[in-house]
Structure 1
Amino acid sequence: MAEIQQFALPDVGEGLTEAEIVSWAVQPGDTVTTNQIIVEIETAKSLVELPSPFAGEVVALHVAEGDTVDVGAAIISIASGALDRVPDADADADADADAGEAIDTSPETDESPEEEPKLLVGYGPGAPRPRRRRGTAEQVAAASTPIEPATPAPAEVAAPIRCTPPVRKLAKDLGVDLATVTATGPAATITQDDVLSAADTHRPSASTAPSSSDIRVPIRGVRKHTAAAMVSSAFTAPHVSEFLTFDITATMELRARLAARTEFADVKLSPLSLIARAFLRAIERTPAANSRWDDAAQEIVQLSEVNLGVAAATPRGLVVPNIRSAQRLGLRELSVAIAALAATARAGKTAPEAMAHGTATISNFGVFGVDAGTPILNPGETVILGVGSITRRPWVVGTGDAETIAPRWVTTLSLSFDHRVLDGQQASELLSDTAAFLSEPELAVL
């Protein structure tokens, strides 16, 4: 006896309300096993692979690649036999029922902790579970077809909109309402040509239309989240930025010596690692920098742990995962953590929880050849350090009669801070201490 299970989009963390379907790893007719990856989604923070909570045959995909889906919406139906869970309370009562029983996925409270395996957020003890209803598995499968059904009205039933997921995505990208498209395909199915024709019919005149070479990029996923966060931060915290250009030659020479040591043989020791270590050391001397402004309580909360965020540019936008309790790490451990964080971000695999609870951030725009900038605070944080490019420049060295001009490694640090939490003196000390530890690394041991 086949049972039709609908898998609803779960909240994968941080209270996200929607996600975009990036790619399906299965198609109708495929057989899947429990915990097999079936779909990749993009949340407002990262890419996430979702495993199947059921084993069986894929009956239907309810959403297309490129669609944005609300948490809790059904995305796939899977027909399965006996599931690895405790039967329903009414299972015995239905033992003699028709062999064509199917599953109703309307929520029903169940307090048994063993009813569902703990596979995903939103699935497990207390999660919505199926109720039995009469009807054949074939009838349920037909109701779960990827062809979008009409919504019945009390007086009449509207004609269904029939099209494949790729055609639905094309209509969405072109801004075409499928309800206005004349279908020319078999069984009144809307084709790709039908959508393109409708798009041409509603295209603005040449005097008002954009150039055909213009590219329109939907604002969604990571970029949508970043834009909202930056706007919120910019118009909530009063930003002030300071800059300091200095000679970082001593740190570059220290890096070369450390890289040659055995304990760093398998570690990528970048200048950013040393800058991050100096920044953490400076925060120890200005602990107010590691604080949050609690508007509701009208308090400044000084935090005991520094969760150091490192901004990472990815093809899908900017993400800022953080290293928990970074002040407790030595230089080697910090270097390993930064390298792993960057690799995970570039692969688009940063988990939402890895970007939560940051307390201070570093943004290394110097890797793009930029000398300085005014970084915007991550929401809720008090400081962000911008790192400019490290380049060879003529620099005045020595004093008095020994003063000369020599080529040196030089960089500029930019510090943006929340002026509600830090005053100018505190922020200036934080920035100057960071530069001092990099100009003269031996100061870090004092």
Structure 2
Amino acid sequence: MKRVVITGAGTINALGHSVPDTFEAMREGRCGIGPLEFRDVERLSIRIGGQVRGFEAEGRFNRQQMALYDRFTQFTLIAAREAIEQSGLEFSGDLSARSGVVLGTAGGGVSTWDDNYRAVYEEGKNRVHPFVVPKLMNNAAASHVSIEHNIKGPSFTVSTACASANHAMGLAFQMVRSGAAPVMITGGSESMMCFGGIKAWEGLRVMSRDACRPFSANRNGMVQGEGAGVFVFEDYDHARARGAEILCEVIGFAMTSDASDIVMPSKQGAARAMAGALQDARVNPSEVGYINAHGTGTAANDKTECAAVADVFGPHADELMISSTKSMHGHVIGGTGAVELLACIMALRDGVIAPTIGYEEPDPECALDVVPNAAREAKVDVVVSNAFAFGGLNAVLVLRRV
């Protein structure tokens, strides 16, 4: 079994258009959630979100590319370029043939769906652009990363709602660890910031109208976000041989299914995923210093996750730091685990724990150290990243400082 390290990271999200910008915002406990800006927003009950602001696709892509790239694909390509550039890799020859791309998204080209339904049903048009299907398909982002960077090995897309990115990264980890690929480009992206995307979520009645306050007793729902996080997962020996900078090591992964309810979380399912990931990583619970929580800000999720952490970590749960960066960038749905992995890297490399902002009132059912409102300096050697999705699908990663 090969060791797996991360040698490149890239992102665009509500906190920043790059990894350094995002780290700075996390250190400052900055909030990227604000009023939504798009067509017909006044018809929505929910009018806040972690929207990527100051982004002009026209300045980054030409007209031919714009006809093919939904917003979620645009975000993915931007993040992938940053990650691959940092890694210093160029894909040619055998490396090109064996390396792959596995990305997560829940909805794919939601903006493209929305625009074209409007064109047909609202505006009465009888024709749509011939590239609508390749633009909206969930695998579009993975395919375009493959095309742009000449990556010809195993490439595909994972769609498991809010755990999509963690599932994708876990599978990429397993492929590199097994020797199936020396390098995998992995992560996730999402952009549901359009009228239809928000309206659908409104129907679930789990959205907050004012703020995302994970673990706080007065939390009242999740807030949607958008963006992408992309990483280069590489065989440790391959990275060392070429003198690459190593950000951290991926050491464990597990996934479980609650097999109980399509939307309500299960303490047992979450606990089995965390325990399985620790077992896969061959680390004791007492070695973990920080957990990046799923922490959506809903009443059910946060107390269930805290109960699962208490079950798995026992007395050590009281010593753990656990935070939800969704309080800052919103819930990026299928891409959320990828954006949140950045907080794990920051904790391991820089010794800075991203905070849970918006925390106002202690909740006896969430009585853990949630790093409230301000980042904290602390040396940690092992961290855990949780993702628990609708459908009862759970995916947990474990990372270690190198």
What is the TM-score with the length of structure 1 in the denominator?
A: 0.23
User: In proportion to residue count, which structure has more helix?
Assistant: 2
Answer 1 or 2: higher relative contact order, Cα 8 Å, separation at least 6.
Answer: 2
Larger radius of gyration: 1
What is the TM-score with the length of structure 2 in the denominator?
A: 0.25
User: In proportion to residue count, which structure has more strand?
Assistant: 1
